[in-house]
Amino acid sequence: MTGEAARATLQSKLRDRLSTAIADAALLPSWFTIVLGHQPPATDTQRWLDTAVSLLMYRIIYAVKDPVVALGPPPGDDADRKAWYRSLTEDLRKTRY
């Protein structure tokens, strides 16, 4: 499996699991609800879901374990991680309701 195929598979699985958790009214972790709330808003739901999946992927890929801060500490010298961190920070700010 290529890196892109693995990424697409992970995104799909995370989206499915998150959608199921929301539909089941599952209790989401505090680091998630602090930045995104307990469920998607009535409008712009797709943007919320895309941001939520990106956040989950970031935490998995960079092994973020912080129980409160969604993105964990600011990244060090890794340019790709820094760019994703900045992008996610902005997406979370725009997605917050």
pLDDT digits (tens, 9 = 90+) for 63-74: 999 999 999 999
Residue range 4-42, pLDDT digits in tens:
999 999 999 999 999 999 999 999 999 999 999 999 998
pLDDT at 97 over 70: no
Q: Which amino acid is at 49?
A: L
What does pTM read for this prediction? 0.92
Q: Which of 48, 30, 47, 50 minimizes the C-alpha distance to 39?
A: 48
Rounded distance, CA 48 to CA 43, Å? 9
Rounded distance, CA 21 to CA 68, Å? 19
Q: Which of 53, 57, 52 minimizes the C-alpha distance to 38?
A: 52
Rounded distance, CA 79 to CA 21, Å? 33
Rounded distance, CA 56 to CA 15, Å? 9
79-95 helix and 45-61 helix, angle to the nearest 10 degrees? 150
